[in-house]
Structure 1
């Protein structure tokens, strides 16, 4: 029997129909079962196949979230949280059917505490919306995963991005959450204090849980002051290994870099074509510094000297906001630029993260693997924390090409694990990396399963993600 038939046999069709009727009566037009709505809420930006929910409910308050969870819990129907659908490992798929809870209408900034440098938002607020709202306060939220993701989704996947080398990831910037648990009650995981020794750290338990333990209904975030001056620039290198070594030296010397992004020559070629730029088609670092006029000038000079030691060309940097925006727009469009290299092919975006001292070796071995197997796979990375991404382009209609792609992904993950790294620095596990988590944290999986069984005994929250039960 095929796996999809086994999964289909596990769907409780009668229970799903009952819950759908309850939600339709409770929510009216805010509950939809049309094919187009269901397809939109199983969308994944990788080659993983879509698995549709049976219905989509657009919630507008924590009370409505509690009502949805109570109805689903009563009949043991799966619940899958949905932000904007930008996750990359199938986190929003519904392999067992059930109800997709769309948080896009819970998009209010509830509170900003400028003196304390924090704010509380609903989960549907996107990072760009939040920073637009904060602009007049002199504060900003620094976590930037590239996509205009929702804050709730970013908390659920423990997102990071280009600013992580200076400001950390979501686990470092979430102070507290409110969460609806499997019994339909809402809990508060912490207060607003910057530190606490009060009990278990439930905030970080839910951050990164990918919706498998509860539904987040509000997030209290740490904010930062907008820097007085920002400089950004680019520097090309003879090889990607030289670029990696420059990153390692920059971090080890304590140069306070805010962003340091690495693009290989194939990615630069794609960005040039897509964003109409004219960078040298060589491995390149995009770098940014935050501070005052004096400090960013000093830091830029320090980086230029380090780059020169590893054969880097002239470091061109600017403090002009428009020029910096153009530079980083090209970086954020790297995914679409790569897709444009071969738009007829499918794309599999994956990431790994290794200790920074191992970054050069890991990237060099990965590039050699790509060349030896004649693959089309640009590399881009958040080099300052040892995290890099490979976007593999392949023919998903050709079984041999699919097998070749999956074999490469396996070698990449095994390579990172052999270097004491992780199978994912920021994409999360979802469905796509379950087997690699089993290799990475085999001894800890029973503890994770125990936590899941305790908080979600009927396995209604995003079943089929992170690990197998």
Structure 2
């Protein structure tokens, strides 16, 4: 049996919903980051769990890799077919299956995006809070254990997924978790699948926690003379226990890029972007306390906004900062990397990273979800200059090792994929071998997104 036999069987199953066209292969062979074009052998577009199960069974019989695909926004080569195989694109599985408003839960298919879900939930008075910035799919967000701008208050995908339906490497369909808010019944298979990046199975259904839409929302942007002043403000705010919904950092280079791209008028210096959720009274109290902390650290221009259009403009600029940064050097690509450290080491980590980039000779604006110690560097390189790519990789390497030396992690939200694979043994030690054993037990042929997260034989 050969690869062509597998593709023939998949074509019989799916008809035109299996594509081997150059357009689809190239569309599913690209990454948001610096990884080169990596073509799969085919792209499948299932419409049901049953079809996903049969796709995996066919691929298992022929030893053909299977790689899940959401919106393609991952940054560490998670969804690239490095060993060939079939990409399973979930765009046709994007339905809301059930809303349990009384229980504050929703069950969805993996291909629905967070923005589409929240648009549909608007009339219920509920919303799904995890916001990674990109309009990612919920299946992809669960697979990479995504977080984002609201994690400081609402947590990450780990905290907001209650149950899953998963197709395993042999085509079996299992359900993990339940609609109950807690359980002491056996291994936590839901947590195992979240962040596994499709290496243990393909998620075909998710049950998610919802939150009540806040009575009032207030947002503000404030400027600082130095990175350390901004970060110290974050640290004191968190230690004070102020319930921030978002607290984001951008450096001077990011502010300049955002101004040029979005028409903003931010002073070209470090900024914090903050948001509060609650009653009008609570918002006023929180703003007053935050304003006092801000003043102690030299914050300026505390512009408070409660009008929806003003808040939307503020977060639109933040969510498009990546594109603004790329636009600041036309024709460039980016090595996008993140790290996460304990709050007590955050100022030191940001300052050391900023100095390292400044000495490198390439541009690398810094921004991030500093409320939980997570920040990103957008290292811009000329695609035609291999020396710049190596400089960026060296910078990313030093960031990762610095994070570990500070008691942190090499990735707070981007995930491991292919790009961070070499750091897993450094971070987890013998625990990485345990992950490989779990992978081998559930996927003995190593067909589920091989070459990502763990290294196994075969």
The Cα of 1:466 is off from its aligned counterpart by 1.1
The Cα of 1:399 is off from its aligned counterpart by 2.4
Report 1:146-225 matches (<5 A): 146-225=133-212
Q: Count matched residues.
A: 456
Distance 1:168 1:386 in 2: 13
Q: Match of 2:241?
A: 254
Further displaced range: 138-147 or 433-442: 433-442
Further displaced range: 316-325 or 341-350: 341-350
Counterpart selection for 1:373 from 360, 366, 379: 360
The Cα of 1:395 is off from its aligned counterpart by 1.8
Q: Match of 1:362?
A: 349
Deviations 1:272-297 (A, max 9, x none): 11000111111000000000111011
Further displaced range: 203-212 or 406-415: 406-415
Q: 1:308 aligned to 2:308?
A: no
Deviations 1:325-351 (A, max 9, x none): 000000000000000110122211110
- TM-score, with length taken from structure 1: 0.96
Q: 1:421 aligned to 2:418?
A: no
Distance 2:123 2:428 in 1: 44
Deviations 1:211-262 (A, max 9, x none): 0000101000000000000000101011011100000000000000000000
Q: Is the CA contact 2:362–2:388 (under 8 Å) kept in the aligned structure 1?
A: no
Q: Match of 1:455?
A: 442
The Cα of 1:107 is off from its aligned counterpart by 0.7
Distance 1:399 1:188 in 2: 46
Report 1:29-68 matches (<5 A): 29-68=16-55
Distance 1:244 1:175 in 2: 33
State the SS of the aligned residue for 1:95.
coil
- TM-score, with length taken from structure 2: 0.99
Q: 1:411 aligned to 2:411?
A: no
The Cα of 1:314 is off from its aligned counterpart by 3.2
Distance 2:297 2:217 in 1: 25
Q: 1:270 aligned to 2:254?
A: no
State the SS of the aligned residue for 2:329.
coil
Distance 1:464 1:36 in 2: 25
Distance 2:269 2:43 in 1: 46
Deviations 1:157-180 (A, max 9, x none): 000000000000000000000001
Q: Is the CA contact 1:69–1:183 (under 8 Å) kept in the aligned structure 2?
A: yes
Q: Is the CA contact 1:304–1:314 (under 8 Å) kept in the aligned structure 2?
A: no
Further displaced range: 42-51 or 424-433: 42-51
Structure 1 segments unaligned to the other structure (5+ residues):
1-13
Q: Match of 2:8?
A: 21
Distance 2:107 2:184 in 1: 21
State the SS of the aligned residue for 1:148.
coil
Counterpart selection for 2:305 from 315, 318, 330: 318
Distance 1:331 1:143 in 2: 15
Distance 1:107 1:294 in 2: 39
Q: Match of 2:273?
A: 286
State the SS of the aligned residue for 1:131.
helix
Runs of 4+ off more than 2 Å: none
Distance 1:92 1:373 in 2: 30
State the SS of the aligned residue for 2:301.
coil
Distance 1:17 1:425 in 2: 40
Q: Match of 1:77?
A: 64
Distance 1:351 1:156 in 2: 17
Q: Match of 1:7?
A: none
State the SS of the aligned residue for 2:351.
helix
Deviations 1:165-196 (A, max 9, x none): 00000000000000011121110111110000
Distance 1:21 1:418 in 2: 51
Distance 1:152 1:166 in 2: 22
Distance 1:425 1:219 in 2: 22
State the SS of the aligned residue for 1:188.
strand
Structure 2 segments unaligned to the other structure (5+ residues):
none
State the SS of the aligned residue for 2:2.
helix
Q: Match of 1:96?
A: 83
